Amino acid sequence: MKNMKIRRMGFGFFRYLVLAILMVWICFPFFWTLLSSFKPAEEIFAIRGGIWPSYFTLKNYIWVFNNMDFLLTLKNSLIVSIFTALFSVLICIMFAYSLNKYNYPGKKLLVNALIVSQMLPGVLIIIPIFVVFARLRLVNTLSGLVIAYSTFSLPFSVLMLRGYLNSLPQSLEEAALIDGCSRFGAFWRITFPLIMPGIIAVFLFCFILAWNDFLFALILTHDNEARTVAVQLYNIATVQFAAGQWGGIMAESIIFTIPVVVVFVILQKNLVEGLTGGAVKF
């Protein structure tokens, strides 16, 4: 018994040691970027320079916030990401609810089509989307990006929320219907509060997908009026790399990361609950 306890403690120590090493390996580049964003330009890649700056400076961030093009594309990314998440959640709720509650011809085929669509890379459909959007005059518009991202994120979101709905007992809504609720009333009063973690997980997934995307924004936009911060960061980094302005690149990278980190920290509990809840029954 004592040997088993010692063995279990040794295994637990080894497991946490491996996890700690992996966390350091994953987080170190971000930590180095964060410290470098506060370093003077001449110190970032100095031969004898250390990881920790000799003194902290805000010149890199001041330069970034004086760059109006960067701020414009940052605003574009926030608008596109938020509206993509809201629009996708609205469509996803109705779509997933219909798949969960109703039987109609072609339902199984529709679910299989959603699954198959996840096997296709985005680069495969970017040209057809560009042709269609060009005819509809949606190229280089924020609404065009919202539609494109929503189209790409909906299949997985619907499948995830459908799995969450399948994990709920059908008797809950049936009891509300017997008590006199309409179908919408039963959904709003009973089902909607219960699937809120799943909805938040879908919102976060769609927000991050739209915020981090580079390919669609690169192809579907051609100036800063509709360009997102991911494309602008690439364009600015190319110029700054040639000019040796590493501090500005680091500061822009940190600013680009902050919205996703903030949203994830606020919603991480609901995200885990939504993902695990939807995995119970598909």
Q: Give tens-digit pLDDT for 64-115.
A: 888 788 888 989 999 999 999 999 999 999 988 888 888 888 888 888 888 8
CA 60/CA 43 separation, integer angstroms: 13
Q: List alpha helices for the chain, DSSP H.
A: 2-36, 41-44, 59-65, 68-101, 107-117, 122-135, 142-166, 171-178, 183-186, 192-194, 196-212, 215-220, 229-243, 246-278
User: What pLDDT is stored for residue 76 in this prediction?
Assistant: 93
Name the percent of the chain lying above pLDDT 70.
88
Q: How far is CA 171 from CA 174, 176, 178, 226, 244, in A?
A: 5, 9, 10, 47, 64
Question: Where is 170: in which H helix or E strand?
Answer: none
User: What pLDDT is stored for residue 147 in this prediction?
Assistant: 92
Decide if 103 contacts 170 (C-beta within 8 A). Answer: no
**What is the domain partition of the chain in residue ranges?**
2-36, 59-278
Residues 6+ apart with CB under 8 A from 41: 60, 244, 245, 246, 247
Q: Write down the pTM of the prediction.
A: 0.82
3-state DSSP call for residue 265?
helix
User: What pLDDT is stored for residue 87 in this prediction?
Assistant: 93
What's the whole-number mean pLDDT along residues 27-45? 82
Tally of CB atoms within 10 A around 107: 12
User: What pLDDT is stored for residue 149 in this prediction?
Assistant: 92
What's the whole-number mean pLDDT along residues 154-167? 86
Residue 24 — very low, low, confident or very high, per pLDDT cuts 50/70/90?
confident
Q: Tell me the per-residue pLDDT of 231-279, one tens digit each, with 9 for 90 and over.
A: 888 887 776 555 557 778 888 888 888 888 888 777 776 666 655 555 4
CA 90/CA 164 separation, integer angstroms: 16
Fold designation for 59-278:
MetI-like fold (1.10.3720)
CA 178/CA 93 separation, integer angstroms: 23
Which one, of 238, 222, 262, lies nearest residue 73 by Cα? 222
What's the whole-number mean pLDDT along residues 174-197? 83
Mean pLDDT of the chain: 82
**Dmax of the chain from CA atoms?**
76
Q: List alpha helices for 189-245, DSSP H.
A: 192-194, 196-212, 215-220, 229-243
Long-range contacts of 5-14 (CB under 8 A, 24+ apart): none
